[in-house]
Amino acid sequence: MSTNYFLLEQGCLNPYQINLLNKINKKNKKEYISLLDKIYLNTNRNKKWILSPLFSRDFVQTNFFSDLNFLGLVDHLKKNKKIKKVKVKNTYLKKIILQKYPDLNVTINITTAVTHIFFKYYEIFSNFIKLLLCTLFMITSKNKKRKNFFKGKKITLIETFFSKNLIQNNKFKERYNKEAYLRFPKALRKRSFFFPINLSILHIKKFLKITKKDKIKFIHPLDFLKTEDYIESIFLIPSLKSIKNEPLFFKKFEISKLVKLYNFFSFFNYSTFLANLNFNFLKRLKENNIKIDLILDWYENQIIDKGISMGKNKFFKDSKIKGHMGFLNDFRNIHYYYPTKLEHKLRCVPEEVLLINKNIYRQFFKNNRYIKYKIVPSSRNQEIFSINKIKTKKKNNKRILLFILSANQQESNFIFKLIENVHHKFDLSKNEIRIKTHPNTKLNYFIKKCKNIEISNKSIYEEILNSEIVIGGGTTATIEAQILNKKIILVGNNSEIMLNPLMIHDKKSVKICYDTKTLLKNIINLSKMKLRKDSLNKNLLNYYFLKFTRNLNKNFYN
């Protein structure tokens, strides 16, 4: 982390710069939307541009928005005379900054820049191979009998995912829409089918074998898709052609070349591929005279979701689509959760979004005019309402430091580095380090091999209840730890925005860390605090989550 406060180094910010970056990200929300509208006007106006990572507003899908935030940070610090030197990761950013601020000392590590470009080209090539393999496995898994069963039927579609981590003890553990489905009226359940989106391409055949015996029923898109659907989806972004060479500005930085660069880096994007397959799946259902009354989409307004909504709005105009936002996250910093006017115009959003909390609606979604909202029970968090019935077993009197990981791999990698730097500094006779992974987490080599760190396979609630301090970031488990009156350390990345899902919090029991030094300091300070005796803060519980009731259940399907 940079200690020179007149130096701004991309990917290695000091705490002041990180805090400022978070403020800039929030402030840039409307400017991102305006910029994407202008970029769209510079295209051939094909509606499927909205399936490109360039239009996603998603930091995980593309570094484009990270670079824009960094330019905003450069602009602010330069105007306030707080930087003299800037280090960037690529030559494009260097040229963009110098064009506006020629007096700034802007440098780039040539080795880093060459490595960055090499890996980007390698990523494009590997993504292409990945799409070919996925296509091959899906085509060779088709089953005409499964397809013919649905011809002429009227059905309800429920989105789910095929992912390796959802196979446990040779069974499929659906963790998205199953609880809502189980509360459907019997007649509706009878005609409801889960349609899986394949996230683990090497395990497609295994999923098909396992789910054949499952109690819930499936309709498999791969049974309906044709070879031309895959070819179109693989080459979708290259086929959309180039973006016009007209100047584009962000904070008065001329960024047209940066836009073209990230458009190129979007070639063969897996999410775009899946989104277009979703679109074509609904097209093929229409051709097979299959009627749809309702689609229940696990909704994050990501690229995959847009493909489903676009397909429904084109081929099943009289049907309903509901986006189930059955989770909590940092709605302040993650901009893509909010549908925009352009997305609404291109008909890639559902008619209705289902939120699990009235407070989320009031604070974050109330002013969004492009979509309707309803409140539903928090189906994935019902267990916390009976938390006092959960039995916990603490083996010893050690202080348990529980690290909880989210689905964000970049955030997880940063937490792994913190653990690697800090684990040897604890007295292991008094402290125990435990990690609760997300189903999508990929562990690094150090974490796998370290004998002093335990990877938990217990329930999240049991782990939180047994712990003294919970350390994590953009995960609902952070909120659950707060409800269970635990001391919390939020992890802030030193190269990206910090994800904080807590809508309200006590500064005494919730601390923020950006590096090893602040992590150790916060652990020491929190260790001196006394824990509350009651295990459940019912006011916070009711603030964040809702229990299942008959009236609320109806919002899923009525």
What pLDDT, in 10s, does the model give residues 292-341? 999 999 999 999 999 999 999 999 999 999 999 999 999 999 999 999 99
2 pLDDT more than 60: no
CA distance 66 to 248: 17
What is the pLDDT averaged over residues 361-368? 90
* Mean of pLDDT values over 483-497: 87
pLDDT bracket for residue 423 (50, 70, 90)? confident
CA 314 to CA 354: how far, in whole Å? Answer: 22
3-state secondary structure 227-241: HHHHHHHHCHHHHCC
- CATH number given to 386-543: 3.40.50.2000
455 SS3 class: strand
**Does pLDDT of 126 surpass 90?**
yes
The predicted pLDDT at position 131 comes to 97
Residue % of the chain over a pLDDT of 90: 63
* pLDDT at residue number 164: 83
CA distance 334 to 328: 11
145 CB burial (10 A radius; 0-12, 13-18, 19+)? exposed
Nearest to 222 by CA among 198, 239, 245: 198
Q: Contact at 8 Å (CB) between 226 and 284?
A: yes
Name the strand (E) or helix (H) holding 402: strand 399-404
How far is Cα 243 from Cα 39, in angstroms, rounded to an integer? 8
pLDDT for res 112: 76
Please state whether the predicted TM-score (pTM) of the whole model is above 0.85.
Answer: yes
Q: Classify each residue of 538-555 as buried b or exposed e, where b means 16 or more C-beta atoms within 10 Å of its C-beta.
A: eebbeebbbebeeebbeb
Q: Please identify which residue in the block is written with the tokens 């959960």.
A: 390
Residue 63 corresponds to which tokens in the numbers above? 């570094």
Count of C-beta atoms within a 10 Å radius of residue 232 = 17
135-139, 183-187, 424-428: which has the minimum mean pLDDT?
424-428
148, two tokens:
């013919």
Using the predicted structure, report yes or no on whether residue 359 has a pLDDT greater than 70. Answer: yes
Residue 195 DSSP class: E
Q: Which long-range contacts (CB under 8 A, 24 or more apart) does 263-267 make?
A: 263/52, 263/54, 263/237, 264/124, 265/62, 265/120, 265/123, 265/124, 266/52, 266/53, 266/54, 266/62, 266/237, 267/124, 267/127, 267/128, 267/237, 267/238
Angular region, 252: left φ>0, alpha ψ -120 to 50, beta rest: left
Q: According to the model, what pLDDT value does residue 284 have?
A: 98
8 Å CB contact between 404 and 480: no
Q: For residues 335 and 476, give the distance between their C-alpha atoms in angstroms, rounded to a whole number.
A: 17
Average pLDDT, the chain: 90
Partners of 88 in the β-ladder: 108
Q: What is the pLDDT of residues 441-469, one digit of tens each?
A: 888 878 888 878 888 888 888 899 989 99
pLDDT band at 262 (very low <50, low <70, confident <90, very high): very high
Two tokens, residue 386: 């009976």
- pLDDT tens per residue across span 408-422: 888 888 888 888 888
pLDDT tens-place string over residues 94-121 = 999 999 999 999 998 787 778 878 888 9
The type of residue at 99 is Q
pLDDT tens per residue, range 143-190 = 999 999 999 999 999 999 998 878 888 889 898 999 999 999 999 999
348: tokens are: 């890639």
Query: Domain residues of the chain, as ranges?
Result: 7-122+246-265, 144-241+282-380, 386-543
Say how far apart CA 288 and CA 418 lie, in whole Å: 54
